[in-house]
Amino acid sequence: MANLGQPKNTIEIIQKYQFVFSKKYGQNFLIDTHVLDKIIAAASITDQDCVLEIGPGIGTMTQCLAEHAKTVIAVEIDRALIPILEDTLGGYPNVTVIHGDILKTDVCALTKQYNAGNPIKVVANLPYYITTPIIMGLFDNHVPLESLTVMVQKEVANRMQAAPGTKDYGALSLAVQYYATPYLVANVPPNCFMPRPRVGSAVIRLTRHTEPPVQVADEKLLFQLIRASFHERRKLLSNGLYNSPELSFTKEEILQAYNIAGLPEKVRGETLSLEQFAALSNAFVLN
Ligand code: SAM
């Protein structure tokens, strides 16, 4: 099968099937073989791996994955792409294409069915309109994962790996870093895609921690505190916590928890590390 990472081969398939790109599905297909190679290398795909690809498009990356992995499961929402994938992936018996919405797919069940419940690798050029729900959905649902190597909007990659006190630091940085270690693989310009996206892109690898870097008595509370503190970013953390619709602590309880966690009264959420959020959340539980 002709390498779809070559622009002329992608154009040929698009024309053969008279495929019309859909903006609502975030369709920007990769047309750069170097970027494809970088993604495969960064994900360290071996012939032992079961890989989940989210949004295979016309199968460009799927073909590369199939050549390196044991098994590839590809979930694609756009019905118009299914016959194209049957064509482009026909020569790869280790690929299963599933027509469906990844946000409604039981990925844990797929890992059981295709990898005996063992950790899988996720590799994808993600549809940018749902990057965060896809990634957080995989983590929150405790899908057995080794790593995610994904193309995302450049700004989102920056937020995922941001450190406390920087402008990009926020709830996404903390959530991602609670579950995984981020590593920026490469920045990718718009001309590597067809059609070109309006934003810059980046490949980021998130390697799942075997143990969370902090121990918390109540994980749900940790994430409620994180959300509350970035909801009103410029305000004092104590106000954010007090005003949060998700929390019902009194001002006294908040100050007591601050004391136990060793936080100053006038602290802002954007300066707190994951360790400090964990200490605060444990302080509320102990209180
Ligand atoms: N992997 C292909 C490539 O690199 O050329 C296509 C990537 S394109 C950025 C995103 C793909 O995700 C599209 O094929 C789109 O139809 C698909 N997609 C969008 N929303 C989806 C969803 N909710 N579930 C599954 N696939 C989705």
In this prediction, residue 78 has a pLDDT band, given cuts at 50, 70 and 90, of: very high
CA of 150 to the centre of ligand 1 (A): 12
Q: 152 CA distance to ligand 1 centroid (A)?
A: 12
The CB of 63 under 6 Å from ligand 1? The reply is: no
What is the DSSP secondary-structure string of 113-179? HHHTT--EEEEEE--GGGHHHHHHHHHHTT--EEEEEEEEEHHHHHHHTPPTTSTT-SHHHHHHHHH
Q: Which domain holds residue 170?
A: 7-208
Span from the CA of 77 to the centroid of ligand 1 (angstroms): 7
Q: How confident is the model at residue 111 (pLDDT cuts 50, 70, 90)?
A: very high
Domain count, the chain: 2
40, part of any domain:
yes
Average of per-residue pLDDT values in the chain: 96
Q: Of 145, 149, 126, 146, whose CA–CA distance to 204 is shortest? A: 149
Which pLDDT score, from 0 to 100, does residue 268 have?
92
Instruction: Put residue 18 in one of left, alpha, beta given phi > 0 → left and psi -120 to 50 → alpha.
Output: left
- The residue out of 176, 208, 240 marking a domain boundary is 208
Asked if pLDDT for residue 1 goes beyond 70, the answer is: no
> For ligand 1, is residue 55 a contact (CB within 6 Å)?
yes
Concatenating the DSSP letter of every residue in 268-287 gives: -GGG--HHHHHHHHHHHHH-
**How confident is the model over 156-210, as pLDDT tens digits?**
999 999 999 999 999 999 999 999 999 999 999 999 999 999 999 999 999 999 9
Is residue 178 one of the residues assigned to a domain?
yes
Residue 161 CA, ligand 1 centroid: distance in Å: 24
CATH number at residue 231: 1.10.8.100
Output the pLDDT for position 232: 78
118 within domain boundaries: yes
Ligand 1 centroid from CA 119, angstroms: 22
Q: How confident is residue 5, by pLDDT bands cut at 50, 70 and 90?
A: confident
CATH assignment of the domain containing 21: 3.40.50.150
* Same domain (yes/no): 163, 109: yes
Asked whether the predicted pLDDT for residue 2 surpasses 80, the reply is no
Establish if 200 belongs to a structural domain. yes
Q: Looking at the structure, do residues 47 and 125 belong to the same domain, yes or no?
A: yes
User: What is the average pLDDT across 96-119?
Assistant: 98
Q: Determine whether the shortest distance from the Cβ of 85 to ligand 1 is under 6 A.
A: no
Report if residue 161 sits inside a domain. Answer: yes
CB of 102 shorter than 6 A to ligand 1: yes
Closest Cα to atom 22, ligand 1: which residue?
Answer: 101
Are 17 and 80 in the same domain? yes
Tokens of 270: 């954007």
Q: Decide: 75 in ligand 1 pocket, CB within 6 A.
A: yes
Mean pLDDT, range 224-233, rounded to an integer = 89
188 part of a folded domain: yes
What is the model's pLDDT at position 286?
80
pLDDT at 231 over 90: no
pTM, full prediction: 0.95
Rounded distance, CA 213 to CA 200, Å?
A: 31
**Is there a single domain that holds both residue 265 and residue 245?**
yes
Residue with tokens 């989102």, as numbered in its chain:
156
